Every structure is written in structure tokens, then in C-alpha cells.
Amino acid sequence: MSTSTSTSTSTSSPPSPQIAMLGLGSMNGAILAGLLDSAVNPEQVRATTRSAATAVQRAQQYGITVHAEQDDAEANRSAAGDADVIFLGVKPHGIVALAAEIADALKPGAVVVSVAAAISVDMIEAALPQGQPVIRSMPNTPLSVGLGVVGLVPGTHASAQDTETVARLLGASGAVHVIEESQIDALTGISGSGPAYAFYLAEQMAEAGVQLGLDRALAADLAAQTIYGAGKMLVAHQAAGTADAAGLRRAVCSPNGTTERAIHAFDDHGLPAAVQAAVNASAHRSAEITDELRSAD
């Protein structure tokens, strides 16, 4: 599989691995929603949360079995021990401890996929049995609606087949890029954190509409549909090689028209620098958390 290219979905019959989702918050929940919308059956999935209240809520939401680690100290080990693919979906500072907790319960060859920012492959591998396949990922929440982006970094013991299995699972709900670990902080700055940038833009567009006298629901719908349509159009044109973002932007700007005035306002208020600073801030924070957690060991 080549570096930084979207995987195409293979035409051979999809695998039906048993899946464990350890932690079922925003990110693992989004992955699960995407999996359940594709070829994965609820019976294939066991999940855990920390608290019983979350477990009950998530079991109802997704129609799967969810156990709370707070109530059942064996919950993570039991779910992981049955699984072929295990998604570690807790906060970064909890990933290594979670990997250590499940280590001797894992089936040999089961693939451990971390979704955490900043936790390097070697940190996870060090907590697991020698030879256990690990894949570090950076997904994003639009996987929940089939429009996600995921970066995958295969670990030392992950085979091409392991990577293909995970790429196929996640590729049903988004674009998958197999990347080098040196690229993952930058990917985090663009696509991992990026949905929040789009949501923030939508918030501000809608707020401006309210300031101009629109009711909030109308302004919010106009902003959301515009970002959705523009994103879909951009993806289609980039895939076809017919236009890029700059070209599509220029096509909306009539000379001396409304959009040209708006883009000048963005430039006058420093939008290009602000966006680049934001992507850099996310990428650098990812690297910084890695350093913090390494030095805490």
C-alpha cells in the first residue's frame, strides 16, 4: 500500500472480524457509527466505557453490548480477548495503561488500533506482548456520517493484511491514507482537529447572519449547507482533477462583486495567517503531548 494515497475498497468479500471498542466517546463512537452503517453487524462489536451511565446510554444508542470498566474490572480484558481488531479510544494519557491492562488477554495476531493523538507506535508496542500488531491512527468524527478521513501508521509487527483489514473497516466510512509516523502530527492539524475548524466557521457565519437580522435556525442551516456543499464540490473536483480550492473560490468571485469584497475582508482580518497558525498549533500540541507523556514515564 503506497504512502499517502486513498485506499480503494477491494472487491473481494469483506472480512468479518470481531471488534472491541475500548472507550466509546466522541471518536470511537463516530468510528462505531460508521462501522454499523457499513458491513459490520452489532453482534460483531463489544464495547466498554469507564462509567455505567455512559455504558447504558451507548448500548441503547448503538444497539451493541457495552460494559463499564467501573463496574467490571475485567470489562476491557474480556472485550479485547474476544476481538480480532481492538480500537483503543480513551484519552491519550490513558492509552498505554489500557494497552498494558489488556496485554495478556489478547489473541495472538489481534490488531490493536489506537485512535489517540500523540501516542506513538513504540509507546503502545512497549505495553503489549512482543509481536502484537499495532496500528496508530488519526481519524476524525465525520466518519460517523461516512465522510471521514483517517491516517494509518502501521506498527513494527502489523502486516500488510492487518493494515488492509483496518483500512477496509474504516474505508467504508471515509478516506484512508497510510502514512509515515513523521506525518501524523501534521495530519492531526488538518484532518484530526479540522472538523472543529469547519464547525467554528459555521458558528461564525451563522452568528453574522443573526447580526444581519436572520433568525438563528435559518442562518445556521444556510451556513451548514454551504459548508457541506462546498466540501462535497471540492472533493469531487479534486478527485477528478478538474479544479482545486483556489480555482473554485475564484469562480465564486465576480469582479468587484460581493464575494471579492468578502475575501478581501478575510485577508484584511488575517484569515490565512490565522488558519495556518491554528493548523500549526494543533500539530505542535500533538508533538508536545508525546514529549510530555514520554518524560512522565
Ligand X SMILES: NC(=O)C1=CN([C@@H]2O[C@H](COP(=O)(O)OP(=O)(O)OC[C@H]3O[C@@H](n4cnc5c(N)ncnc54)[C@H](OP(=O)(O)O)[C@@H]3O)[C@@H](O)[C@H]2O)C=CC1
Ligand Y SMILES: O=C(O)[C@@H]1CCC=N1
Q: Which residues pair with 150 in a beta bridge?
A: 176
The Cβ-side half-sphere exposure at 201, using a 13 Å CA radius, reads 19
69, 125, 162, 185: which one binds ligand X (CB under 6 A):
69
User: What distance in Å separates the CA atoms of residue 70 and residue 124, rounded to the nearest whole number?
Assistant: 23
**CA-CA-CA-CA torsion for 51, 58, 97, 155, nearest 10 degrees?**
180
115 binds ligand X (CB under 6 A): yes
Q: How far is the CB of 57 from ligand Y (least distance, A)?
A: 21
User: What distance in Å separates the CA atoms of residue 181 and residue 154, rounded to the nearest whole number?
Assistant: 9
Phi, psi (rounded to 5 degrees) for 108: -55, 135
Q: Give the binding-site size for ligand Y (rule: CB under 6 A).
A: 4
19, 47, 117, 202: which one binds ligand Y (CB under 6 A):
117
188 binds ligand Y (CB under 6 A): yes
Return the number of the residue (155 or 209) whose C-beta is nearest ligand X: 155
Cell numbers 462489536 correspond to: 45
Q: For residues 90 and 258, is the Cβ–Cβ distance under 8 A?
A: no
Return the number of the residue (142 or 192) whose C-beta is nearest ligand Y: 192
Choose the stretch contacting ligand Y; rule: CB under 6 A; options: 6-14, 33-41, 186-194, 208-216: 186-194
Give the residue closest to ligand X by C-beta: 25
34 binds ligand X (CB under 6 A): no
* Site map (CB under 6 A) of ligand X, residues 192-211, x = contact: x-------------------
For residue 187, say whether it is annotated as part of any ligand binding site.
no
Pairing state of beta strands 134-138 and 148-154?
antiparallel
User: What distance in Å separates the CA atoms of residue 142 and residue 186, rounded to the nearest whole number?
Assistant: 18
6, 94, 214, 243: which one binds ligand X (CB under 6 A):
94
What sign does the dihedral 175-50-66-74 (CA atoms) show? positive
CA distance from start to end of the chain = 34
Choose the stretch contacting ligand X; rule: CB under 6 A; options: 1-9, 114-122, 126-134, 208-216: 114-122
Q: Which residues bind ligand Y (CB under 6 A)?
A: 117, 188, 192-193
Q: Which residues bind ligand X (CB under 6 A)?
A: 22-28, 48-51, 54, 69, 76, 89-92, 94, 98, 115-117, 138-141, 192
